[in-house]
């Protein structure tokens, strides 16, 4: 316990703050420039928020462009260490809004960004190479308790551990998913031909398991650390080029600074930073933050990814327990869904055109996700209730997993308008799993 509170050079935390702010600024401004904001917040009539946050909808008109600009400005402030505490809190809240506001473009790295920004709220990341120090808002500090580094090591270890476990299922082990994932991935025929070779997509499948399973231990062990960083560079740059997953590969690489000795990071990034001597290498005494905030935080992080094991059915099919579980780039889903809307008073069927309500992107995602299908049914119910019509809503939904034949996902005999969402267990209207998963 004393070692966790030992004072070490704070160079890793300082450089990580700078990396984090720069990458978050790229995410914020890049989302505008690439059309991501337009596709997910401007064009849609509404968004599929996380359940319980349906009230959280995009700002009207072009307001979300301003929202992301503000978020980008706060990201720059974090990188510069300017009004750091206010900036990181504001950035965390704004990003939480983005994350909770839409599921159409759900991505695990959005969740990781949210967790890390939350962690940074409570850490002294602005005590060196920060405008806050230069302007006299805070005193310069050269050290931090050792647990500040271990917070990040533990978080990324949890990510990779559960990502490894999730890959041990038939479609990953026999190369089905990686084959589908890499098919026609590039505009170059010769590269696509290489990706279609069985030896190559099988190599990618098992290399993914080996990398996720061993990267953290390899980074922790001095003799393999540099080789692990090289492997990380190859792995993440390949993912960045081929899979085009935004800033996540570079964000994942930034955690490497916490695995090296702080003195090494100081010499590499802050050569003018004074070296810590034995005389000022004191122990931090305040343990409340670690014990009462981060200990429960990590217990929750360990519990959330295993919740799907306590829900009947296969999570690959039902999606129940999939989010917040580090089940990354693991399967492909496609589906088709339409609704039978019945006037309860007349028993007549009412036409309802989903394509008038949803963008093409929304329709493609919602139709294979049970929670979004349920949410759409609730929205249909409310729309007709506003017209004074009490309706029953039945979903006819079929989903294909990893290119297999479509199978029925939702019980079309159940009136979804009357169903409540089960936050902690299985929803009775979702079929547990198809025969080919048994």
Asked, for residue 158, whether it belongs to a domain, the answer is yes
At which of 275, 309, 343 does a domain end? 309
Instruction: Looking at the structure, tell me whether residues 130 and 216 fall in a common domain.
Output: yes
Instruction: Looking at the structure, tell me whether residues 300 and 341 fall in a common domain.
Output: no
Instruction: Looking at the structure, tell me whether residues 136 and 167 fall in a common domain.
Output: yes
Asked, for residue 326, whether it belongs to a domain, the answer is no
Domain that holds residue 132: 3-309
What digits encode the pLDDT tens for the residues 217-238?
A: 999 999 999 999 999 999 999 9
Instruction: Looking at the structure, tell me whether residues 297 and 402 fall in a common domain.
Output: no
Backbone angles phi, psi at 274, to 5 degrees: -60, 140
pLDDT at residue 105, as a whole number: 92
Tokens encoding 265: 């990071």
**Residues in Cβ contact with 299 at an 8 Å cutoff, skipping those fewer than 6 apart:** none
Classify residue 278 by its DSSP letter: G
Asked, for residue 37, whether it belongs to a domain, the answer is yes
Instruction: Looking at the structure, tell me whether residues 302 and 216 fall in a common domain.
Output: yes
Q: What is the DSSP string of 372-428?
A: HHHHHHHHHHHHHHTTT--EEEEEEEEEEETTPPPEE-B-TTS-GGGPPP-SSS--T
pLDDT at residue 433, as a whole number: 83
Asked, for residue 314, whether it belongs to a domain, the answer is no
Q: Quick count: other Cβ atoms within 10 Å of Cβ 116?
A: 20
CA 222 – CA 178 distance, rounded (Å): 32
What digits encode the pLDDT tens for the residues 168-215?
A: 999 999 999 999 999 998 889 999 999 999 999 999 999 999 999 999
What do you get for the CA distance between the two ends of the chain, in Å?
46
- pLDDT exceeds cutoff 80 at 395: yes
pLDDT at residue 269, as a whole number: 96
pLDDT at residue 437, as a whole number: 72
Asked, for residue 325, whether it belongs to a domain, the answer is no
Instruction: Looking at the structure, tell me whether residues 260 and 347 fall in a common domain.
Output: no
Q: What is the mean pLDDT of residues 17-25?
A: 98
Asked, for residue 46, whether it belongs to a domain, the answer is yes
| Cβ pair 393, 416 in contact under 8 A | yes
pLDDT at residue 182, as a whole number: 94
What digits encode the pLDDT tens for the residues 38-91?
A: 999 999 999 999 999 999 999 999 999 999 999 999 999 999 999 999 999 999
pLDDT at residue 51, as a whole number: 93
Instruction: Looking at the structure, tell me whether residues 239 and 345 fall in a common domain.
Output: no
Instruction: Looking at the structure, tell me whether residues 49 and 148 fall in a common domain.
Output: yes
Instruction: Looking at the structure, tell me whether residues 360 and 302 fall in a common domain.
Output: no
**Residues in Cβ contact with 296 at an 8 Å cutoff, skipping those fewer than 6 apart:** none
CA 344 – CA 153 distance, rounded (Å): 56
Instruction: Looking at the structure, tell me whether residues 172 and 283 fall in a common domain.
Output: yes
The strand ranges marked E within 58-134 are none
In the chain, pLDDT over 70 holds for what percent of residues? 98
Write down the pTM of the prediction: 0.94
What digits encode the pLDDT tens for the residues 253-286?
A: 999 999 999 999 999 999 999 988 755 556 777 7
Asked, for residue 327, whether it belongs to a domain, the answer is no
At which of 252, 276, 309 does a domain end? 309
Number of domains in the chain: 2
**Residues in Cβ contact with 262 at an 8 Å cutoff, skipping those fewer than 6 apart:** 8, 9, 10, 11, 12, 149
pLDDT at residue 432, as a whole number: 87
- pLDDT exceeds cutoff 80 at 438: no
Asked, for residue 320, whether it belongs to a domain, the answer is no
As a whole number, the mean pLDDT across the chain is 94
Instruction: Looking at the structure, tell me whether residues 114 and 246 fall in a common domain.
Output: yes
pLDDT at residue 280, as a whole number: 54
Instruction: Looking at the structure, tell me whether residues 52 and 194 fall in a common domain.
Output: yes
Helix (H) or strand (E) holding 8: strand 7-9
pLDDT at residue 281, as a whole number: 59
């Amino acid at each position: 316990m004393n070692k966790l509170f030992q004072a070490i050079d704070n160079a890793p935390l300082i450089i990580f703050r700078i990396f984090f702010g720069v990458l978050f600024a790229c995410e914020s401004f890049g989302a505008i420039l690439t059309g991501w904001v337009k596709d997910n917040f401007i064009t849609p009539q509404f968004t599929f928020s996380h359940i319980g946050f349906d009230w959280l909808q995009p700002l009207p008109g072009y307001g979300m462009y301003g929202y992301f600009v503000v978020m980008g400005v706060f990201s720059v402030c974090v990188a510069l260490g300017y009004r750091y505490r206010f900036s990181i809190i504001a950035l965390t809240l704004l990003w939480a809004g983005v994350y909770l506001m839409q599921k159409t473009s759900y991505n695990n790295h959005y969740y990781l960004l949210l967790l890390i920004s939350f962690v940074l709220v409570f850490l002294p990341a602005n005590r060196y190479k920060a405008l806050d120090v230069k302007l006299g808002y805070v005193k310069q500090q050269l050290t931090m308790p050792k647990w500040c580094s271990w917070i990040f090591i533990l978080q990324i270890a949890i990510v990779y551990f559960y990502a490894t476990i999730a890959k041990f299922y038939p479609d990953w082990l026999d190369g089905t998913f990686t084959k589908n994932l890499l098919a026609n991935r590039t505009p170059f025929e010769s590269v696509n031909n290489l990706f279609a070779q069985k030896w190559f997509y099988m190599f990618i499948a098992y290399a993914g398991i080996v990398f996720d399973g061993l990267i953290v231990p390899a980074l922790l062990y001095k003799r393999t650390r540099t080789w692990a960083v090289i492997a990380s560079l190859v792995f993440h740059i390949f993912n960045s080029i081929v899979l085009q997953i935004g800033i996540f590969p570079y964000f994942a690489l930034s955690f490497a600074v916490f695995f090296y000795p702080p003195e090494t990071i100081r010499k590499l990034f802050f050569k003018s930073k004074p070296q810590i001597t034995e005389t000022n290498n004191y122990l931090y005494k305040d343990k409340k933050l670690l014990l009462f905030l981060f200990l429960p935080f990590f217990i929750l992080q360990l519990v959330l990814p295993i919740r799907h094991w306590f829900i009947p059915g296969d999570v690959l099919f039902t999606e129940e327990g999939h989010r917040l579980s580090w089940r990354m780039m693991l399967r492909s889903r496609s589906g088709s869904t339409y609704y039978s809307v019945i006037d309860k008073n007349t028993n007549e069927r009412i036409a309802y055109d989903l394509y008038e309500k949803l963008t093409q992107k929304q329709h493609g995602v919602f139709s294979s996700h049970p929670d979004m299908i349920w949410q759409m049914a609730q929205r249909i119910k409310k729309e007709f209730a506003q017209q004074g019509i009490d309706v029953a809503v039945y979903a006819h939904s079929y989903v294909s997993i990893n290119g297999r034949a479509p199978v029925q996902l939702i019980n079309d005999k159940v009136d979804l308008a009357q169903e409540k969402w089960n936050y902690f267990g299985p929803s009775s209207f979702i079929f547990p799993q198809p025969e080919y998963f048994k």
